[in-house]
A = this chain, B = another copy of it.
Amino acid sequence: MKIGLLGMGTIGSGVFEIAQKLDGIEVKKVLEKRFQADYITDKIEDITTDPEIELVVETMGGLHPAYEFASEVLKNGKHFVTANKLLVSAYGEELTALAHEKGVAFLYGAACGGGIAYLANLKIAREIDRVTALGGILNGTTNYILDSMQSRDMDYAQALSEAQALGYAERDPSSDVDGLDTQRKLILASSVGFDAYIKPEDIPTRGISAVKMADVTYARAHNLVIRLCARAERNAEGAISAYVEPTLVAANAPEAAILVNVNYAWYSGESYGLMSYIGQGAGKLPTAANVLRDVQSVSAGARYMTSENCKRVQPDNSAACHPYYIRIADASAIPAEWIARSEVLDGETCIETVPVSVQEMHNLMANHKDAFFAGIQRG
């Protein structure tokens, strides 16, 4: 199969490199403005109108012009494979509908999990089983920062700065540290696992930018480890909860064994039980390998990540309840009936709550951006 490639950055060059070694796949043309070669063009039409190109891989990232190019590719009756979570979390529903209309494939297995074949397996689990819950540690940058603080006693600023120096974090780290990258991946996983499209603004999302060493001290003292986790759950009636928040997990939980920038993705099904995947959530070759897995799947007949019944769902987080840890300057902001216990560590008031709904907690804490809070999951 001859393919076109949009973008020759980190992931794109990985796709190009691995594709050279695979039988049956030829990268015929690459859209790229920064280099020149006989297979490189700077005009999208050279790719979308090439009758020999059956499939186009997009590894440019960003919303525009990735969205316009994706539409053009699909309208021209070519299969489309992308690793772009921003694109899919914003336009996945529309692009999937367009792909269905044109009878071509639209796969995005590498857009959540990077090198981990999480979505590909989750799709099969949805087809064979009933998936009841899913989630994980879906962002390597924040895990690197949290692990550095906990394994190497670095403070947040040091750990972030090291992550930036290593290329794990962007100069503007907000999409990672504020949990938005994790949120987008949760949207993708929910689409695949639950056949449900969820809007970003409907997912209560809190990142790690307020974390301090006092929180690390608290976690250690209670044999817990801080991780940034996504979680979505579907009850028997089909109602879905979905949220992203720092989580204190038991020190012997699998999440606690996820170090540096590694990712951890899981789902739970009525037949399968709990299935977890650990691996490289980003990076040139792991992600590129998963992009090519999608390309091979299209060759073998795969078409969509979601079924034709996939529909928009408004999550309900009012019934998702668990205890929380809160460190806040003004403890009087927390309703007294929520407080199970509190202690002072490094001069900070650390509160542990009774089970509180995700909705109520995120609503309250939206007014306290400097406070750090985390769900508690003792296992």
**What residues of chain A have their CB less than 8 Å away from a CB belonging to chain B?**
14, 18, 22, 115-117, 121, 124-125, 127-129, 252-254, 256-259, 269-280, 283, 285-286, 288-289, 292-293, 296, 300-302
Contacts and interface: CB of A to CB of B under 8 A. Distances in A.
Contact of A256 (B116, B129, B252, B292): B252
20 contacts: A115-B272, A116-B275, A117-B124, A121-B121, A124-B293, A124-B296, A127-B296, A128-B289, A128-B292, A252-B259, A254-B258, A254-B278, A271-B289, A272-B279, A273-B279, A273-B280, A274-B279, A275-B279, A276-B279, A300-B300
A378 to B, nearest CB: 14
B117 A121 contact: yes
A277 B276 contact: yes
Q: State the main secondary structure of chain A at its contact with B.
A: mixed
A273 B269 contact: no
A289 B125 CA distance: 8
A325 to B, nearest CB: 21
Q: Which 5 A-B pairs have the closest CB atoms?
A: A271-B285, A276-B278, A275-B279, A271-B289, A254-B257
A170 B117 CA distance: 34
Given A272-B285, A275-B277, 7 more contacts: A18-B271, A124-B293, A252-B257, A270-B285, A273-B285, A275-B279, A300-B301
A302 B302 CA distance: 12
A289 B115 contact: no
Nearest to A254: B257
Nearest to A279: B275
Contacts of A14: 271
B293 A128 contact: yes
A27 B296 CA distance: 30
Contacts of A289: 125, 128-129, 269, 271-272
A293 B126 CA distance: 11
A269 B256 CA distance: 24
A38 to B, nearest CB: 26
Nearest to A151: B252
Contact of A128 (B18, B124, B128): B18
A193 to B, nearest CB: 15
Contacts of A258: 254
B279 A283 contact: no
A364 B72 CA distance: 67
Contact of A272 (B276, B280, B301, B302): B280
A283 to B, nearest CB: 7
A129 B124 CA distance: 22
Nearest to A115: B272
Contacts of A125: 289
A290 to B, nearest CB: 8
A22 B271 CA distance: 13
B275 A278 contact: yes
A300 B121 CA distance: 15
